[in-house]
Structure 1
Amino acid sequence: MNIWESHRFGKRIHLTYHALRRMEERRISLDMVQDLIEKGTLIHKDEKYCWIFKSYSHRDDNLVCAAVIRGSAVVIKTLMTHWQEQPE
């Protein structure tokens, strides 16, 4: 399933093909992605682009981060590990 409805955003969430491949490579489950989107920390780059990240205690490659585009839906472009918030 690469499309679902987010309670947090009240919009459909779409995973790109690239994001699906990164999930597989980095052993990130769909359940984890759904949790990340609903409960992760949100940082806006601008009105359209943002990052959502969260730490998972059972992983040693924290933080897990989704790079997303917000519009009529939320599109997850990619998923990253070892992510670090950049100071402005």
Structure 2
Amino acid sequence: MADFFSQRFGKNVWITRHARQSMQHRGIDDATLEQIVEAGDIKRKDDVHLWVYMHIDGRTDNMICAAAVESEAIIIQTVMISWELEDEI
């Protein structure tokens, strides 16, 4: 069973074990991750890989970013803090 359904993407969202461990270590709960997926900014690496990121009020370790793969579902591979958007060279 999927972890949640994304209205934004129209797909189920799965959170890998590694991403869950990252979330726990960084103090990010399911509701915060869902907020990032549904309302965060998106940067695509290619047709499949993307980052969804967002500044969360009240946190000192912003930005929070979920690295994901998009296919039939959205698969969250890891969750990072203090993430910085970099321009492509």
Counterpart in the other structure of 1:63: 63
Deviations 1:2-53 (A, max 9, x none): 6111100000000000000001000001000000000000010000000000
Identity percentage over the alignment?
Answer: 33
TM-score relative to the length of structure 2: 0.96
Q: Which runs of 5+ in 1 are unaligned?
A: none
Amino acid paired to 1:74: I
Counterpart in the other structure of 2:25: 25
Aligned residues: 88
Counterpart in the other structure of 1:51: 51
Q: Which runs of 5+ in 2 are unaligned?
A: none
Instruction: Give the aligned CA root-mean-square deviation in angstroms.
Output: 1.2
Runs of 4 or more, structure 1, over 6 Å off, are: none
Amino acid paired to 1:59: R
Give the drift of 1:57.
1.6
Deviations 1:53-72 (A, max 9, x none): 00012100000000000000
- Answer whether contact 2:64 2:79 (CA < 8 A) is retained: yes
Counterpart in the other structure of 2:86: 86
